[in-house]
Amino acid sequence: MFVCFNDEKIFQTLPGQGWRVLIEWKRDAEDVADGVPAMTLEPVIAWVTARIHRKRERDGYKYEDVIIAPLVRDCHCSDLLVLDGLEPRSSFRGFVYLAPGEDLTEKHTKQLHGGYAEGVTLG
C-alpha cells in the first residue's frame, strides 16, 4: 500500500536498479522502547516522478513541485514512502544514497550529519 501524505500524484515509476538508501529515522521514546532502529539501509523499490503540493511557511504561497525521488519501505510500518527531503512532516531525519555495488561504510554515516562524499570540496 502506498500512502499519499502530501497529496503526491505519481506519474511514472522506474525500477530501483540496485540503489539503496541509508535512512536515519525520527524516533520518539515509544519507538525506541519498541525497538525501532535509528538507521536502516533500505533498497530503492522504484524511482518515482511525482507532483507534490507545497506551501511556503513564510507567506502561505501554494505551489506544486515535480520531483524524482526513491520509493522505499517505511521502518515504522509496512507502508511505502517517497523520500522527499523537503517535506517537514517526514518520518526521517536524513538519508544518503548508495550506488549499486557500493559498500556501506562510516563515511555514509558522516554524510547523514552534514559531511561530504569523497571528492567533494568546498571552494
Boundaries of every domain in the chain: 9-112
Predicted local distance difference test score (pLDDT) of residue 7: 63
Greater confidence, 64 or 123? 64
Greater confidence, 52 or 120? 52
> How many other C-beta atoms lie within 10 A of the C-beta of residue 16?
18
State the cell numbers at 49. 516522478
Digit-coded pLDDT (tens) for 82-118: 888 887 777 888 899 999 998 988 888 877 776 665 6
Predicted local distance difference test score (pLDDT) of residue 1: 40
Predicted local distance difference test score (pLDDT) of residue 43: 93
CB 21 within 8 A of CB 98: yes
For residues 9-33, give the mean pLDDT: 84
Q: Indicate whether this model's pTM tops 0.85.
A: no
Predicted local distance difference test score (pLDDT) of residue 31: 79
Digit-coded pLDDT (tens) for 38-77: 888 999 999 988 888 888 888 888 888 888 889 998 877 7
Give the start-end residues of each E strand in the chain. Answer: 9-15, 20-25, 39-43, 46-55, 62-73, 80-82, 92-98
